[in-house]
Amino acid sequence: MRDVSGMQQPAVGGSSATGLSIGGDAASAVGRRRRLLRLGGAGGVVSGIAIDHRDSMRLMLERQGGEDPGIDTLRSLKLALTRALAPTATVIMLDEELGGLALEVGAVPPSVALIMPLEAQGYETAAAGRVTTLLDDFSPGIALRYGADACKLLLPYRIDEPEAAALQEALVTSTAAACHAVGLPLVVEPVAYKRPDETIDAFGRAYSGLVVGSIERLRPLGVDLLKLPFPILELAATGDAAALDACRAVNRACRDTPWVLLGAGADTELFVEQIRLAGTAGASGFLAGRGIWGAAVAAYRDESEVARTAATVCLPALERCREAAERFAQPIGARAH
């Protein structure tokens, strides 16, 4: 497996629930915790906008326009979204390839934290499972030079796919060590996926267990923050009580490691409810993407319309999500030790 940092890996010593003693001395652990706390802003609750999409954003535009929009269009689009949304967030997720322009022109305010992704788009296969690959030309050291406060690793993961799961776990361990070696926290985003031969109903029945199982296996490997899906696929069909129980099971599995909710493209009404339930259970906020900015992307051929939609549709959606998080979520510092 390729060394994600391009440098010799440190020996792994002791570990704690948040991985703060892995891959560095006490000073590194203190610096890493300070960067982690920046993700929650002054109030400590994470209200994050994720604009680190690459192939998925390109595919969204191709479905609307029928052609590859080109790198320049994608970079300009991310710049417009960043200018409109970043000032209202406590943290933004941006990639180097398409989000670099927004960073270069200073569109991210200094008060807003930055998370940068390490995974390449797509995945390899191992037996029936999926395995993350890393960017060839990016590393935690480069992220640090951009001023990043953390790196992120997206991880297709199922505990019942043992070969792929073992490879993913090894990748988390080595990536956490590489991030910690340069003083950066690692955000891990495990996403359960449906097998090709699995029915929707069977996947739905297994889903909560897959989410909790991923936390139990991955949390001790040096993870500093978990970015997690809502543990129930159909909230309306389940009801608040059962959904809250599922969120509490997630919270127990996280132990002392803070967690935030990912958006998964949910519309604002649904996502606000998910934030309420997850926050009540112990989540420290959210990191959401296309469910908030998708309406602006639909207007990508008209720059003025992108800006107008981002300001009048997307920004109010982000503000509603932030208000819910600030009301219900637990500050990240309460768990990040």
pLDDT tens digits, one per residue of 29-50? 888 999 999 999 999 999 999 9
pTM of the model: 0.88
Which residue in 188, 240, 239, 235 sits closest to 207, CA to CA? 235
Which CATH architecture fits 45-334?
Alpha-Beta Barrel (3.20)
Residue 43 is which amino acid? G
Is the predicted pLDDT of residue 129 greater than 90, yes or no?
no
pLDDT, tens only, 209-251: 999 999 999 999 999 999 999 999 886 667 789 999 999 999 9
At 127, is the pLDDT very low, low, confident or very high (cuts 50, 70, 90)?
low
pLDDT given at position 223: 97
Q: What are phi and psi of 147, to 5 degrees?
A: 90, 20
Residues facing 132 on adjacent strands: 123
Relative to beta strand 129-134, strand 119-126 is antiparallel
pLDDT given at position 15: 40
Q: What are phi and psi of 102, to 5 degrees?
A: -60, -35
pLDDT given at position 221: 97
Higher pLDDT, 141 or 24: 141
Percent of the chain residues past pLDDT 90, beyond the cut: 67
Contact 250, 210 (CB under 8 A): no
Higher pLDDT, 276 or 302: 276
| Token duo for residue 141 | 């050291």
Mean pLDDT across the stretch 186-196? 94
Measured distance CA(302)–CA(65) in Å, rounded: 12
Q: What are phi and psi of 13, to 5 degrees?
A: -95, -130
Q: What is the dihedral of CA 109, 115, 119, 122, to 10 degrees?
A: -60
Measured distance CA(142)–CA(64) in Å, rounded: 34
pLDDT given at position 337: 57
At 334, is the pLDDT very low, low, confident or very high (cuts 50, 70, 90)?
confident
